[in-house]
Amino acid sequence: EIVLTQSPGTLSLSPGERATLSCRASQSISSSYLAWYQQKPGQAPRLLIYGVSSRATGIPDRFSGSGSGADFTLVISRLEPEDFAVYYCQHYGSSRAFGQGTKVEIK
């Protein structure tokens, strides 16, 4: 079973700053089955990134995903007010496991 560990738990940043979120898997993820979801308070999650680096429809290009093997990163190049939320990584291969989430909060 693959376990995903996200860091940091909370990221305190100001609008306009760059956010870097990490997702580390307990073993190498084959076939790039790594996705990122965004969840705002009181709302359902939304798919942001799939296949490590492909943006879902309508996702702005300030969101980018990268990584390989067991280490993955989500970068938000310049935080907009609407980007403050919780972000989850997920292995959508056999395990369907989620990381515990990183909260991006306003500093």
Structure tokens at 7: 């860091």
Distance CA 101, CA 36 (A): 10
CB of 66 to another protein, least distance (A): 18
Burial status of residue 94 (CB atoms within 10 A of its CB: 0-12, 13-18, 19 or more): exposed
99 binds another protein (CB under 8 A): yes
Nearest distance from residue 78's CB to another protein, in Å?
26
Assigned token pair, 100: 């515990």
Among 96, 105, 106, 107, the residue binding another protein under the rule CB under 8 A is: 96
Determine the size of the site formed for another protein (CB under 8 A). 20
Check residue 18 for interaction with another protein (CB under 8 A). Answer: no
- Whose tokens are 């990381």? That residue is 99
**90 makes contact with another protein (CB under 8 A):** yes
Q: Which residues contact 54 (CB under 8 A, 6 or more apart)?
A: 65
Residues that bind another protein (CB under 8 A): 33, 35, 37, 39, 43-47, 50, 56, 88, 90, 92-93, 96, 98-101
